[in-house]
Amino acid sequence: MRTTLVECADGTAQVIGPAETVRLAVIDVSGSADIKGEVQRVMDEEDRRRVNPMCESPLRVTLLRCGPAHYRLLLAVHHIAYDSSLDEVFFPEWGLLYDAFRRGAPSPLGELPLQYADFAVWQRRLLQDAELLSEHVGYWKKQLAGAPLPLPLPWRRPDAGPAAAPDVKESVQRVVLLLPDRTGLLKALARREGTTPFTTLLAAFQALLSRATGQRDLTVGSYFAYRNQPEFEGIVGFRTNLVPLRTDLSGDPTFLELLGRVRAVHLAASAHQDVPFSELTRALHTAGCSMPPIQALFSYVRTDHTPLRLPGVRVGRRQILRTAMPSGFSLTIVERTNHRLVTGAVFDAGLYNPACVRKMLHQFKALVEKILADPARRLSELLPI
């Protein structure tokens, strides 16, 4: 959180600044005739501002004063420093510090034995292990061989170019996917099949993509968290990696059969996830093959397991997600504190039609409900032409 990046002769380097107080911008909107509208305006403006890690901390903090005892705290975090470690480490420690400092007590947190730079060193050493790198690259070379070029998604604008412009305008569409009782059914289905809600919804999303494109061989990307090194669990930083997930949907399988295929793909990918995506792409190119284009991104984010607790304060959270989009399209499932699932599509509005994307989200919602009702049905029955 006190790191900036600089370009040097060997590439990009991390510069760790001294520990210092984070500058807190305070905006008083309590005198506005439309406090709710003013809050939304400031939030939208803050959302549009990019955090530039080349010249500023990856964390920017803004406090909105809405009334004598009502505040909104806006945290803008660059993805280079953001992953689930914010929920697992940052927010719990924030609560402990808040409680201690309001009582005039010192910090209850001990010194970290390792820092994020140590994780970077570990990763670099892994890439220098020729035997291990060869094993991982060998798996991916076999797994991705012969992957077809993806067909255009039907909600893509027909006049859109092949790639997004650098200053692309992102658009977001959200739909409530499942209410808490239905989320319970989803988790029960995943447990029966020896898998997870993530894998189950990924299978549903790939089924929808297959129906939308007519393609039976799909590669979807997802971010996997490095969780094989418990010594790094107490640090904050980006410890995730983009992983390609290629699935065979041929033969009109039942959803349960497809779920078994996706589960096998996910488990194998997890065992070979340690090579960073950029290094994997380079290694495959060197080996005479190429990384197949990723059809879309898919992720599942939980905010239910680490609610922020500040003594003496009623806290509510609203999370706004932005996901890197090599394909210009990503689907994110967010599990809220009350176990309600919200599905959100983040996409390049220059490439995709927002109205068509929203229709797709409702189709996805309908598909998930059909799956929960009868997961043994074939894809052709769940998604008739």
Query: Tens of pLDDT along 297-345?
Result: 999 987 755 567 888 888 887 766 555 455 578 899 988 877 889 998 8
- pLDDT value, residue 162: 54
Work out the percent of the chain whose per-residue pLDDT is above 70.
92
- pLDDT value, residue 89: 84
**240-248: strand order across its sheet:** 170-178, 341-348, 329-335, 297-302, 217-225, 240-248
Residue 87, pLDDT above cutoff 90: no
Side-chain half-sphere exposure of 142, counting CA atoms within 13 A: 9
Q: Identify which of 219, 241, 242, 222 has the alpha carbon closest to the alpha carbon of residue 292.
A: 219
- pLDDT value, residue 150: 84
Q: What is the mean pLDDT of residues 252-261?
A: 98
Token pair of 21 as six digits? 């107080």
Q: What is the mean pLDDT of residues 347-373?
A: 92
Residue 266, pLDDT above cutoff 90: yes
Measure the N-to-C terminal CA separation of the chain; round to a whole number of Å.
Answer: 50
Query: Tens of pLDDT along 32-76?
Result: 999 999 998 998 888 778 788 888 888 888 999 999 999 999 988
- Give the dihedral sign, CA 377/378/379/383: negative
What is the bridge-based pairing of β-strands 3-8 and 329-335?
Answer: unpaired
Q: CA-based angle 190:193:199, to the nearest 5?
A: 50
- pLDDT value, residue 227: 62
Report the amino acid identity of residue 198.
F
DSSP string, 350-362: TTB-HHHHHHHHH
**pLDDT grade for 195, boundaries at 50, 70 and 90:** very high
Residue 116, pLDDT above cutoff 80: yes
Residue 117, pLDDT above cutoff 60: yes
Q: Is 348 in contact with 168 (CB distance < 8 Å)?
A: yes
Query: Tens of pLDDT along 151-177?
Result: 888 888 877 655 544 445 567 788 999
282 vs 288: CA distance, rounded Å: 10
Residue 115, pLDDT above cutoff 60: yes
Q: Which of 48-52, 158-162, 241-245, 281-285 has the highest mean pLDDT?
A: 241-245
Token pair of 16 as six digits? 């760790």
- pLDDT value, residue 161: 59
- pLDDT value, residue 166: 40
> What is the value of pTM for the model shown?
0.84
Distance from the Cα of residue 71 to its chain's centroid: 27
Query: Among the listed ranges 76-90, 97-111, 162-176, 234-248, which one has the minimum average pLDDT value?
Result: 162-176
148 vs 219: CA distance, rounded Å: 9
- Count Cβ atoms within 10 A of the Cβ of residue 85 and give its class: 0-12 exposed, 13-18 middle, 19 or more buried: buried
- pLDDT value, residue 38: 94
Domain annotation for the chain: domains and CATH numbers: 3-81 (3.30.559.10), 116-382 (3.30.559.30)
- pLDDT value, residue 165: 47
